[in-house]
Amino acid sequence: MELTVHNIKGDKTERKVSLNDSIFNAESNDHAIYLDVKLHMANQRQGTHKAKQRNEIHGSTKKLHKQKGTGGSRKGSIKSPVFRGGGRVFGPQPRDYGFKVNKKTKVIARISALSQKAKNNSIMVLEDFVFETPKTKNYSEMLDKLEMNGKKTLLVIHNDDKNVVLAARNLKGSKVSSVNSLNTYDIMNANNLLLSESSIKAIETLLSTNTSES
């Protein structure tokens, strides 16, 4: 698959790049995508929720009344879950929501996500660029010229260019990611994928290497 390279002014250049079919034209594995996206979302959860059980409630442990002869139910202490302010039965406890997904599955998921974007013509290649200052206005103007302002976009760059990252941070629906930070959730969440020229080779090298290692 060949794509024309655009500049940040929205104009087509005379250059074209060839995308590796094993990365950008592979058979999609929806279950791998599901697992990798689920793992990403699970890892975003803090898991710090906590409810006190009856052994953690401050209060008297004195038996409220004798066991029999009152005509009422048996009550052990004021900390019983049946009373207001008592402990909670089976309440939430701090936990880690993460789970294991094999490295090979993660690679397949990323390849599947990239292939889906390519088949839907949702990938645009940009020539490498830099911002001298981290101005949101510069990034917004670039999206305007690319006719992508207001759309969910993911720009993938080879390295963490601080000025580019900061320029996009305040724009709703715009995200910048380095090749090493690229994940399936961000790819699937974006309507359009913007790839810098240098990032394409890095993506293909990274995913090809991980595939061969697996």
Instruction: Give me the count of residues in the chain.
Output: 214
pLDDT grade for 1, boundaries at 50, 70 and 90: confident
Q: Check whether 6 has a pLDDT greater than 90.
A: yes
- Is residue 164 in a domain? yes
Q: How many domains does the chain have?
A: 2
Residues 18 and 60 in one domain: no
Residues 75 and 173 in one domain: no
pLDDT (tens digit, 9 = 90+) per residue, 97-155?
999 999 999 999 999 999 999 999 999 999 999 999 999 999 999 999 999 988 999 99
Residue with tokens 């929720």: 49
Residues 74 and 26 in one domain: no
Give the pairing of strands 174-178 and 192-196: unpaired
Residues 145 and 60 in one domain: no
Residue 134's contacts (CB-CB under 8 Å, 6 or more residues apart) are: 162, 163, 164, 165, 166, 167
Residues 78 and 106 in one domain: no
The CA distance from 16 to 197, in Å, is: 10
pLDDT (tens digit, 9 = 90+) per residue, 21-46?
999 999 999 999 999 999 999 999 99
Burial 197-210, CB ≥16 within 10 A → b, else e: bebbebbbebbeeb
Predicted confidence at residue 213, as pLDDT, reads 59
* Domain span including residue 52: 46-96
Predicted confidence at residue 160, as pLDDT, reads 79
At residue 105, φ and ψ (nearest 5 deg) are -65, -40
The CA distance from 2 to 17, in Å, is: 6
Q: Check whether 210 has a pLDDT greater than 80.
A: no
Domain end point (choices 79, 96, 113): 96
pLDDT grade for 212, boundaries at 50, 70 and 90: low
- Is residue 67 in a domain? yes
Residues 124 and 207 in one domain: yes
Predicted confidence at residue 120, as pLDDT, reads 95
At residue 198, φ and ψ (nearest 5 deg) are -70, -25
pTM, entire model:
0.83
Predicted confidence at residue 131, as pLDDT, reads 92
Percentage above 70 pLDDT, the chain: 98
pLDDT (tens digit, 9 = 90+) per residue, 165-192?
999 999 999 999 999 999 999 999 999 9
